[in-house]
């Protein structure tokens, strides 16, 4: 796996600039996750590199287990694809896109996540009924956080 030190440094700078604690970027089967407590770089092979305080000195971690996020085990869980702020409506004062008990179709907008001043609509990955909403309007979310459940 080739490590893109420039990309890691840019993500670390973005954390400082935005006040976020963690960010993950994926491109195909490669992903880079940076958090203020350290950095993890994970590839498709399950190999993880843990970065020291000096990002120029990577060290291979002893773990071969893939990175997982709690809550992903529910088959209807819709998880956050990014770090940002969740908004339940398109603008302040507007009705929420969905509510508990509402039936949605695949591709319907469930909520918006604002990341780096860009509003990203999160679409329903499947049709069904919203049985649980795990986030509140204006709540910060991390990559992999469960947003809601569609059954």
More confident site: 32 or 2:
32
Structural domains of the chain, count? 2
46 and 86 fall within a common domain: no
User: Cα–Cα distance between 85 and 139 in angstroms, integer?
Assistant: 6
**58 beta partners:** 51
| Closest-CA residue to 111 (of 84, 144, 75) | 84
What per-residue confidence (pLDDT) applies to 52?
38
Q: Are 23 and 133 in contact (CB under 8 A)?
A: no
What per-residue confidence (pLDDT) applies to 117?
86
Dihedral angle computed from the Cα positions of residues 96, 102, 106 and 111, in that order, rounded to the nearest 10 degrees: 20
87 and 48 fall within a common domain: no
* 7 — pLDDT class (breaks 50, 70, 90): confident
Domain of residue 54 covers 5-60
50 and 84 fall within a common domain: no
User: Cα–Cα distance between 148 and 49 in angstroms, integer?
Assistant: 31
90 and 132 fall within a common domain: yes
Tracing tokens 């909520």 back to the chain, one arrives at 111
Which residues neighbour 20 within 8 Å (Cβ) at sequence distance 6 or greater?
A: 14, 83
Dump pLDDT digits (tens) for 23-77: 777 777 777 777 776 434 444 433 333 343 334 433 333 333 333 333 456 788 9
Distances (CA, A) of 49 to 15, 42, 46, 92, 124: 19, 7, 10, 41, 33
28 and 83 fall within a common domain: no
Q: Is the pLDDT of residue 3 over 50?
A: yes
81 and 45 fall within a common domain: no
Q: Are 113 and 99 in contact (CB under 8 A)?
A: no
């Amino acid at each position: 796996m080739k490590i893109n030190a420039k990309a890691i440094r840019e993500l670390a700078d973005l954390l400082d600039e935005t006040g976020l604690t963690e960010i993950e970027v994926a491109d195909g089967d490669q992903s880079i996750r940076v958090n203020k407590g350290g950095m993890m770089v994970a590839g498709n092979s399950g190999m993880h590199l843990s970065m020291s305080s000096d990002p120029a000195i990577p060290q291979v971690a002893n773990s071969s287990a893939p990175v997982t996020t709690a809550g992903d085990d529910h088959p209807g869980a819709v998880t956050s694809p990014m770090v940002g702020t969740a908004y339940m409506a398109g603008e302040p004062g507007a009705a929420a896109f969905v509510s508990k008990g509402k039936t949605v179709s695949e591709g319907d907008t469930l909520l918006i996540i604002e990341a780096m001043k860009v509003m990203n609509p999160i679409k329903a990955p499947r049709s069904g009924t919203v049985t649980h909403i795990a986030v509140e309007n204006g709540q910060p979310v991390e990559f992999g956080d469960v947003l809601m459940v569609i059954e």
